[in-house]
Every structure is written in structure tokens, then in C-alpha cells.
């Protein structure tokens, strides 16, 4: 049995989120999605209100290869699970790159006058080079364009106004709720932040539109729930494009229920991360999955053994620049390094020794190795279980 959350107040926060939300999004870690998914929670959502829907958002999907995402997509589709792949870290990098491009563009505009006075442009300042042949082609195409009369221009203006009003009406309409089957390639694709809001609206039950302007229709509320350290707050920050929710690598940073207005149509409800009752995980797996804080860890033998068993010896030696001494086969060794052998090699290479006898400090080395595993520097992704026919 997992050390599930025993604070009743935290469970009240979850109940409030489920009661308010039209769509409950379970955010799971892509390296082991089934360990972070709670089927009991999905059933409880339907018991509260059958109109509420569930969605599995597989975060940190950039840690998986396309082949691994395809295997998991086939499994989820065979089980009838609504899912999509997402990466909050990748979305954050895209947002930062976009902001950097905008800032560099603004600074480039400010420097245009100075460059024009000098009469010369650097090669780095030129974003696009237009050849003389392209200019002649554009001029030839411009000569072919017929000039309309003023009456035709008025007709075109009227058509534009009608088109704009129709577009506004179409934008104000709620999205269709029919589930359109997606191709496997689309299911495997990692969504961007622009895709997420449309995804939330598509999977949410349709809201009744109000014709009274003084009483607008209710916003769609999206509840984000999941285990600690799966990236709920990071997902919200990626959606907003800036840091709005406190984020930490320590599990359980979010303590209270939070509501964030994403747009005129969507409200996000962030629930504190909590551990659901589960018989499948051991304490060592909880540590390796990032659910239990590593800094408060007292027993490191089990988690270190899992890391040594999952990560190849050659990869560990290449990442840390160490030489792992394993027990020979003649002396009963298996050819695979144990957790103690990995930690001792890491401690010797980093100069971690105990103060008394001068032995390698395995507990200190364990904190570094386990944190690298949780962050994905030592990457291991679980395969999906076989689908029974």
C-alpha cells in the first residue's frame, strides 16, 4: 500500500475541484503513465456527474521517442482511454524562444535608424534576402492585377463586414462536442500550448449559451489533478506563457486549490498533488517516480538498486565519467552492477567520503544519482503492458 495522503483537508481540495470542473484532466508522467493514473478517480468523477469527462494528459512526453509514444498510443486506444501527449518543459522552451525573438525584433527596429545613417547593414541583421529575379516576378504579377472601380470596392467592403460578423458569431459559438476519430500520427504528436485550450473545450461538455448580455454563459472549468511532481503547475505556467503558479522540484509544492482564468472561455483549477491509494508501488518506486522527497530519504538501498538495474552500466559510466567495479562472475557476480557498487564509484569520483573511517559516502552519492534519475538525466521509460485480445 502506498503512503497515500492522510490529510483530510487535501482530499477536500480534490473534491472541490471535481465538483467545479467540467473536465477532469489527470496529468501523468510519460515515463510510467499507468503508475500515475488512478482509475478510481475516473469512476468517482462519473459518479459525481455523468456529464463530466476525464482526460489523461501524458506530460514530459519529450522524454519518449516517437516509437515509444506510438506503442503507448496504441495501448490507450485499445483500452478506450482519452489521452494526449504534452511536454510542459518543451512548451516553456518554445515560449522563451518566442519572447527572445520578439525582444530581438524590437531591438532590431530601434537600431534601424542608426543603421540607415551608416548606410550599411550587417549580414546578421538581414532576415531575408530578396533576389532581383523575385522582384521582377512580383512586378509582373502586379501588372496582371486589374484595378476595380469604386462601386466594386464598396461591394467588397460590404462582403468583408459580413464575413467579419459571421466569423465573430462562429467564434462565440461553443465548440462541437462530437468526438472525431484522430489518426495515430495525430495521437502520437506532442501538443503545443495553442492546442491544449482547444483540446480542453473539445472534451468538455457543451455549455448552454446565453442570449442575455447581462448574464453571460458559464465558463468551462478544467480541473488539473495528479500525483506530486508530475508537472501540474508547470503545465499551467506553459499555458499562460509566464510564471503564475509556484513551481518546485520538491513534491507537494502546491498546497491549496487555485483557480486561474486562462481565457474568456476557460478557467483552470489547480489541485494540490496527492498520492492515491495503490497496492502496486513499493517505496523504492515512489522515490524513483519523484513522489517522495529525496532529501528526506533515509533508506537509499532500494531506490539505488532500481536505478542500477534499469540504467545500463556503460551509460552510467559515460554520464558520470566513472569506472564501476563489479563483482566477478567467478565470485558470484551477475555482470550487472548493484546499487552499492554504483554509489561507491560515484562517491569516489566526486570525493564524497565519510568523516570517520574515510569510506565512500553512499548516502550523499545516492541523493545526486536519484535526483538525476527523477529529472530525466538518467532516463528510463516503461513500456506499455501487452494488450490482451
pLDDT tens, the chain, 389 aa long: 556 667 777 788 888 889 999 999 999 999 999 999 999 999 999 999 999 999 999 999 999 999 999 999 999 999 999 999 999 988 888 888 888 888 887 766 555 555 544 444 444 443 444 344 444 444 444 444 443 444 444 434 344 444 454 444 444 444 444 455 677 788 899 998 888 888 998 888 876 554 545 545 678 999 999 888 888 888 888 888 755 555 555 554 445 667 888 888 889 988 888 777 776 678 888 899 888 889 888 889 999 999 999 999 999 999 999 999 988 888 888 888 999 999 999 999 999 999 888 899 999 999 999 999 999 999 999 999 987 65
Length of the chain: 389
Distance CA 120, CA 316 (A): 52
CB 369 within 8 A of CB 307: yes
- This prediction has a pTM of 0.74
* Residue 307 three-state SS: helix
Paired with 269 in beta bridges are: 223, 259
Residues with Cβ < 8 Å from 226, sequence gap 6 or more?
26, 27, 28, 36, 232, 273
Nearest CA-CA partner of 60 in 379, 385, 311: 379
Distance CA 341, CA 227 (A): 31
Instruction: Find the distance separating the first CA and the last CA of the chain, reported in whole Å.
Output: 30
Distance CA 97, CA 86 (A): 18
Write out the DSSP string of 137-183. HHHHHHHHSPPPPHHHHHHHHHHHHHHHHHHHHHHHSPPP---PPPP
- Number of Cβ within a 10 Å radius of residue 290: 25
Distance CA 332, CA 125 (A): 66
Residue 235 — φ and ψ, nearest 5°?
A: -65, -40
* Residue 134 three-state SS: helix
Amino acid at each position: 500500500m502506498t503512503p497515500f495522503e492522510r490529510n483530510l483537508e487535501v482530499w477536500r481540495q480534490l473534491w472541490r475541484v471535481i465538483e467545479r470542473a467540467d473536465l477532469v484532466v489527470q496529468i501523468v508522467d510519460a515515463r510510467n503513465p499507468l503508475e500515475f493514473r488512478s482509475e478510481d478517480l475516473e469512476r468517482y468523477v462519473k459518479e459525481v456527474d455523468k456529464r463530466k469527462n476525464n482526460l489523461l494528459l501524458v506530460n514530459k512526453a519529450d522524454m519518449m521517442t516517437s516509437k515509444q509514444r506510438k506503442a503507448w498510443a496504441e495501448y490507450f486506444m485499445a483500452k478506450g482511454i482519452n489521452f494526449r501527449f504534452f511536454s510542459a518543459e518543451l512548451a516553456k522552451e518554445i515560449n522563451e524562444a518566442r519572447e527572445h525573438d520578439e525582444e530581438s525584433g524590437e531591438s532590431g527596429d530601434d537600431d534601424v535608424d542608426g543603421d540607415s545613417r551608416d548606410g550599411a547593414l550587417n549580414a546578421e541583421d538581414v532576415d531575408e534576402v530578396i533576389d532581383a529575379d523575385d522582384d521582377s516576378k512580383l512586378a509582373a504579377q502586379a501588372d496582371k492585377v486589374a484595378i476595380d472601380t469604386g462601386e466594386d470596392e464598396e461591394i467588397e467592403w460590404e462582403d468583408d463586414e459580413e464575413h467579419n460578423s459571421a466569423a465573430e458569431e462562429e467564434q462565440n459559438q461553443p465548440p462541437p462536442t462530437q468526438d472525431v476519430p484522430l489518426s495515430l500520427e495525430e495521437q502520437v504528436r506532442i501538443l503545443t500550448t495553442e492546442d491544449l485550450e482547444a483540446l480542453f473545450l473539445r472534451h468538455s461538455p457543451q455549455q448552454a449559451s446565453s442570449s442575455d448580455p447581462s448574464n453571460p454563459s458559464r465558463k468551462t472549468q478544467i480541473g488539473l489533478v495528479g500525483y506530486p511532481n508530475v508537472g501540474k503547475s508547470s503545465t499551467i505556467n506553459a499555458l499562460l506563457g509566464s510564471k503564475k503558479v509556484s513551481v518546485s522540484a520538491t513534491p507537494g509544492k502546491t498546497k491549496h486549490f487555485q483557480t486561474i482564468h486562462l481565457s474568456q472561455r476557460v478557467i483552470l483549477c489547480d489541485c494540490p498533488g496527492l498520492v492515491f491509494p495503490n497496492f502496486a508501488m513499493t517505496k523504492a518506486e515512489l522515490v524513483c517516480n519523484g513522489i517522495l522527497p529525496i532529501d528526506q530519504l533515509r533508506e537509499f538501498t532500494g531506490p539505488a538498486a532500481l536505478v542500477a538495474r534499469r540504467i545500463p552500466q556503460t551509460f552510467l559510466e559515460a554520464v558520470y565519467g566513472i569506472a564501476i567495479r563489479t563483482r566477478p562472475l567467478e565470485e558470484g557476480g551477475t555482470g550487472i552492477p548493484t546499487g552499492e557498487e554504483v554509489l561507491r564509484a560515484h562517491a569516489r569520483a566526486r570525493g564524497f567520503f565519510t568523516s570517520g573511517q574515510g569510506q565512500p559516502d553512499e548516502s550523499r552519492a545516492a541523493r545526486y544519482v536519484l535526483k538525476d534519475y527523477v529529472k530525466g538525466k538518467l532516463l528510463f521509460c516503461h513500456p506499455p503492458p501487452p494488450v490482451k485480445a
